[in-house]
């Protein structure tokens, strides 16, 4: 870094040479940090695996030395959450006739979904506000039980629990081009068996189901077509156009992204070193052990954070009032950006960077980076370019 010249020529700056040394230093710092974290992780695993039952002494064990801080382990299944053991029954532990422990009669169990959603307050302090603090509970379902169903999903569905008779399953699938589609399925009485199978009753689409799209006046589908529309598959873009003005403007897509769509670098790629493959597996495992069992959404005007107030549980709510924002852009006459144009088509925040880069000529029509950006390590950018602002006078693609 000290050997860098004080000034770079325009050509050198255009090719990123002014940032190359800093970028290399940043990569080195990242690699050193990755190795440090991985060695710490392996050390904890060694400590954990070295414990022996015959000479175990709890007083000599520090939890933070055998379990990674922040780790929650493998998630509970829906079956476990619907039959969660909270204590020993009043009759104590009971043995069956074959002298095995009777798990059903020996323990007190609760259904977390029923328990959470049934919470109510006695004194409603504000008119028009529900006395139920929790709006709904969402959890990821295993995809295997749905593989052979007529819904034809290829990813893990999201179950949204409103009440026992008002539930929704959000299915998703990805086509060969990477485009994502979703389907909204109204159900009731969903439960998972101990063997992992899932049973439920499919219901007709109607009012009262989670996210409330059917009855929302701002749902951009004619009232007499809503039931049919909600029962079929639609692309992410089609869903956004239909629901972006509703109360839950990005909930259907957001729930899927938050609970199931967690992209990581593949550890088995042939063009990476063995060490890089290990680090990728490590990062993936880090993500897995910090995933929550379920997601609890606060009702409108309720908040779980006493330090601040935003409707629906603070930052991260799916209400339109918390998710809607306005993107304004202006430029000189050579950019070709239209004057005074109001874009009615909805986009998400991922559109910001590729749109600016496209205006700069740094990515192509498929969001692939230019040669210069690719040489700096950039890959294909997610998000749709806001094509309405890309005028005919935009700059040609540059290195």
- Residue 338, CA distances (Å) to 135, 332, 333 in order: 42, 10, 9
Q: What is the pLDDT of residues 312-326, one digit of tens each?
A: 445 668 888 888 888
Q: Give the pLDDT confidence score for residue 217 in this predicted structure.
A: 97
- Worst-scoring range by mean pLDDT, 79-88, 125-134, 158-167, 352-361? 125-134
- Cα distance between residue 184 and residue 209, in whole Å: 11
Beta strands in 267-354 (DSSP E): 295-298
Highest-confidence segment of 82-96, 259-273, 294-308:
82-96
Residue 253 has a pLDDT of: 92
| Tokens linked to 89 | 């029954």
- The pLDDT assigned to 396 comes to 47
pLDDT for 272: 77
Would the pLDDT of 306 be above 80? no
> Mind listing the pLDDT tens digit for each residue in 45-61?
899 999 999 999 988 88
More confident residue, 272 or 367: 367
Q: Which long-range contacts (CB under 8 A, 24 or more apart) does 259-263 make?
A: 259/138, 259/139, 259/140, 259/158, 259/295, 260/140, 260/155, 260/156, 260/158, 260/172, 261/155, 261/172, 262/287, 262/291
- pLDDT of 395 higher than 60: no
Place of tokens 């399925």: 185
Average pLDDT over residues 340-359: 89
pLDDT band at residue 269, thresholds of 50, 70 and 90? low
241-260 per-position pLDDT tens digit: 999 999 999 899 999 988 88
**Exposure letters 306-329 (e unless 16+ CB within 10 A, then b):** eeeebbbbeeebbbbebbeeeeee
Query: Using the 8-state DSSP alphabet, how is residue 140 labeled?
Result: E
Task: State the chain's mean pLDDT as an integer.
Answer: 84
- Identify the pLDDT of residue 307: 65
> Comparing 283 with 15, which gets the higher pLDDT?
283
**Residue-level pLDDT at 397:** 45
> What value does the mean pLDDT take over residues 62-81?
84
Question: pLDDT (tens digit, 9 = 90+) per residue, 118-163?
Answer: 998 887 667 778 888 899 999 999 888 777 655 566 688 999 999 9
For the record, the structure tokens of 33 come out as 């940090």
Residue 85 has pLDDT above 80, yes or no: yes
Residue 69 has a pLDDT of 76
Element containing residue 173 per DSSP (H, E): strand 166-174
Q: For 185-210, what is each residue's pLDDT tens digit?
A: 999 999 999 999 999 999 999 999 99
The predicted pLDDT at position 267 comes to 59
């Amino acid at each position: 870094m000290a050997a860098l010249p004080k000034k770079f020529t325009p050509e050198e700056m255009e090719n990123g040479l002014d940032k190359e040394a800093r970028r290399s230093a940043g990569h080195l710092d990242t690699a050193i940090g990755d190795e440090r974290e991985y060695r710490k992780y392996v050390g904890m695993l060694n400590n954990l695996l070295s414990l022996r039952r015959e000479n175990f002494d709890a007083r000599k064990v520090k939890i933070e030395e055998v379990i990674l801080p922040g780790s929650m382990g493998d998630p509970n299944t829906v079956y476990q959450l619907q039959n969660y053991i909270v204590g020993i029954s009043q009759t104590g532990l009971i043995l069956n006739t074959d002298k095995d422990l009777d798990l059903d009669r020996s323990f007190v169990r609760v259904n977390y979904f029923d328990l959470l959603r049934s919470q109510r307050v006695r004194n409603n302090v504000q008119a028009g506000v529900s006395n139920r603090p929790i709006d709904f509970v969402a959890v990821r379902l295993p995809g295997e039980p749905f593989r052979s169903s007529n819904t034809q999903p290829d990813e893990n569905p999201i179950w949204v629990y409103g009440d026992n008779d008002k539930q929704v399953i959000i299915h998703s699938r990805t086509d060969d081009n990477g485009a994502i589609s979703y389907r909204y399925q109204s159900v009731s009485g969903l439960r998972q068996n101990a063997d992992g199978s899932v049973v439920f009753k499919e219901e007709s689409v109607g009012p009262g189901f989670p996210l409330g799209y059917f009855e929302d006046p701002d749902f951009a589908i004619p009232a007499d077509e809503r039931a049919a529309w909600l029962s079929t598959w639609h692309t992410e873009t089609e869903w956004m156009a239909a629901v972006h003005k509703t109360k839950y403007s990005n909930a259907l897509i957001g729930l899927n992204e938050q609970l199931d769509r967690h992209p990581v670098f593949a550890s088995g790629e042939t063009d990476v070193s063995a060490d890089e493959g290990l680090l990728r597996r490590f990062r993936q495992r880090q993500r897995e052990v910090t995933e929550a069992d379920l997601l609890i959404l606060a009702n409108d005007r309720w908040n779980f954070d006493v330090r601040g107030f935003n409707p629906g549980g603070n930052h991260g709510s799916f209400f339109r009032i918390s998710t809607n924002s306005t993107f304004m852009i202006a430029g000189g006459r050579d950019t070709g950006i239209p004057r005074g144009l109001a874009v009615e088509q909805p986009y998400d925040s991922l559109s910001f960077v590729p749109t600016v880069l496209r205006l700069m000529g740094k990515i192509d029509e498929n969001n692939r980076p230019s040669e210069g950006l690719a040489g700096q390590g950039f890959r294909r950018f997610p998000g749709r370019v806001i094509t309405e602002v890309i005028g005919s006078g935009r700059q040609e693609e540059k290195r």
